Structure 1
């Protein structure tokens, strides 16, 4: 089951908070037909956090990326900057376009050591982006967050900004 695989990847991440930051893993989903070769998460001041992802597939090709673990990133309710590039798979990198957008992170995190925090970055048509924190209990009785995108389970269910 995909949930078990996701939980296994996320269990290595601590859920401890440090001020306005939380240590979490990051995944991305794509509701557009733009291929996102890479993206980065920056602080509101533009400093790199060391987190991001690569190869975010187009919606028609599954719409997801892998999961990156773990680093302190701006917590829910805080502002972060998402910087991403889009380009064709066969295009030269010099033809790719870079976008950068400051967003307020939605969702909630947990400081419980038995919980895992993760951030889902969502890409939408017209170069829109949002990010949402979720948490869930780890272990055999943990349940996936109801806010988790169906794309992560291999189901192509469209989502809109703000859903």
Structure 2
């Protein structure tokens, strides 16, 4: 017996309007959701077209919100943000627009604060090389650029 709910195009459209209104979404997420709802390709195209025309789905807006959010709440660097946007199949053009959402002054201030906080956590690590490596690994994982990371690691003397 098939226990999966089936949706009419109208029901699926309303559902996707709510899904997109709740939080900014990228095309890939919407496609995935429609696929999970077992919608046929023609219906998927029709629904996505509707969402685009009625401004429920806007990839530029998604990329901007994503960059702002991940930078402010998770303190990710530009490299990680770019990689995550690429993973969501966001265009190069929209990635460039998204990165403009992060002011340079705020970016460097956040980097410094994050690095200093991590260094305080590593204060008990006596081995200088290990402390440098742990700091670098942490900052790279968060997506900060090599020149910033190595510059900071080079400042650690003891």
Shorter-chain TM-score range? under 0.3
TM-score (norm: length of structure 1): 0.19
TM-score (norm: length of structure 2): 0.20
Q: Which has the higher strand share?
A: 1
